[in-house]
Amino acid sequence: MSYLFAAYTVTWILLFLYLMGIASKQKKLDAELATLRELIEQKK
């Protein structure tokens, strides 16, 4: 039974780390998109 608990724990930790990585990449992409929008507005 302890192996089942360990497997669930590891799975949730890995899922959490994966989602945090995706969130971090999304923030970087949002910042880059904002910069590109500013550049486009400046060229108009």
Token pair 């497997």: residue: 7
Identify the pLDDT of residue 3.
Answer: 94
Q: Tell me the residue type at 33.
A: L
Q: What is the CA radius of gyration of the chain?
A: 19
- Does the structure show a pLDDT above 90 at 1? no
Domain boundaries of the chain, sorted by first residue: 1-44
Question: Can you list the positions of beta strands (E) in the chain?
Answer: none
In terms of pTM, does the model score above 0.75? no
Token pair 């400046």: residue: 42
How sure is the predictor about 42, in pLDDT bands with cuts at 50, 70 and 90? Answer: very high
pLDDT digits (tens, 9 = 90+) for 17-35: 999 999 999 999 999 999 9
- Does the structure show a pLDDT above 90 at 44? no
